[in-house]
Amino acid sequence: MPKDKLFRDHWFVDPSASKIVEEPIEACRRQFCDQLRQKRERYFADHDLVIMRLTRKKEIAGSLSIVEKAEYKSAEASCQALRDITVHPAIAAAQTSDDLRKLDLLPGA
């Protein structure tokens, strides 16, 4: 039986052994990515505020300072990294649900 119920929707019973066996890895990967999508939303908020503030400033003032441009690019890059988190190579490399459980792709999540 799996150690926890994280992927319990994918458990199945082995009829020959009459016991719950390991979850199918493809189904677990899909669920893991869905959970990442939900958790990453709070990370977008801070970056979105920076992007909106600087976009509005650019519309009003016509341009941004070098520091503001760097801040904008950094926020954009962070958002792109969050978008790409569900295609992280470690997810595809995971061979078992335990491998997925060990991944810490969103710090503090």
pLDDT of residue 51: 96
More confident residue, 98 or 6: 98
Q: Return the domain boundaries, the chain.
A: 25-102
Q: In terms of C-beta density within 10 A (0-12 exposed, 13-18 middle, 19 or more buried), how is residue 12 classed?
A: exposed
Instruction: Note the pLDDT tens digit of each residue in 28-73.
Output: 899 899 999 998 998 899 899 999 999 999 999 999 999 999 999 9
Percent of the chain with pLDDT over 90: 53
Residue 2 contacts residue 8 (beta carbons within 8 Å) = yes
More confident residue, 45 or 20: 45
CA 38 remoteness from chain centre = 8
Q: pTM for the full model?
A: 0.70
pLDDT of residue 97: 83
Q: How many CB atoms lie within 10 A of CB 30?
A: 14
